[in-house]
Amino acid sequence: MKNIKLILFAVFAIVSVAAPFSIIWKHEAALRYGKTYKFRTAPIDPYDAFRGKYVRLSFEDDRRKKDFGVYAQHGYVRLTADADGFAKPAEISETPLKGDDVIRVDRVWSSWNNDEKQYRTRIDYPFNRYYLPEDIAPLAERLYHRANTRAADGERKLDTYVTVKVYQGVGVLEELYLNGVPVREAVKAELARETR
């Protein structure tokens, strides 16, 4: 009986240690071997952009004007790039898809849009937070909100997007760009302007 308890404890310990290492390995493999996709960000509630040390991201393309017919707690999205190099969902499935252009997403569902008189498919991507050091978070929040606001003609004022590395179903957020500049560099430039 004592040997069985010892064996069960050893199995439990191995599984407990292996699970976090597996997650870390998948993220590191995505960063090292993954294909880079750009996702254009979308305007969000300015008062809800930052929660502590991260930017809450919303994506322009997470509401497709198409009913993919998928309603799943977890789904799989095959990505393609548009003419400007930004990611677009090409295929959505409840069952796993193969390829290095596939991301496992948190949730997928379709709903009717009364204003547009059509279905829209909504995708909850797993990379919706961009973490930053606490000392630069407030200024980054202002810059991110300013970059995502729209001009009077409806066009965005600045180009904002994130790069995501995709590898074997895993998507890992790499960088947030404000007008083509990494957010940390944009914060440094803004601080330099403010101290002049």
Helices 183-194 and 137-148: angle between axes, nearest 10 degrees: 100
- Residue 177: band (very low, low, confident or very high) from pLDDT cuts 50, 70, 90: very high
pLDDT in tens, 128-166: 888 888 888 778 878 887 777 766 556 666 678 999 999
50-59, 74-83, 99-108, 130-139: which has the minimum mean pLDDT?
A: 50-59
Q: Are strands 129-131 and 54-56 parallel, antiparallel or unpaired?
A: antiparallel
CB count within 10 Å of CB 193 equals: 8
Q: Is the pLDDT reported for residue 48 higher than 50?
A: no
- Residue 24: band (very low, low, confident or very high) from pLDDT cuts 50, 70, 90: low
Alpha-carbon distance of 92 to 80, in angstroms, equals: 12
Q: Check residue 54 and give its pLDDT.
A: 73
CB count within 10 Å of CB 24 equals: 10
Three-state secondary-structure class, residue 119: strand
Q: Check residue 50 and give its pLDDT.
A: 44
Kindly state the tokens that stand for 39. Answer: 């996702």
Residues of the chain with pLDDT > 90, as a percent, come to 9
Mean pLDDT over 58-66 rounds to 66
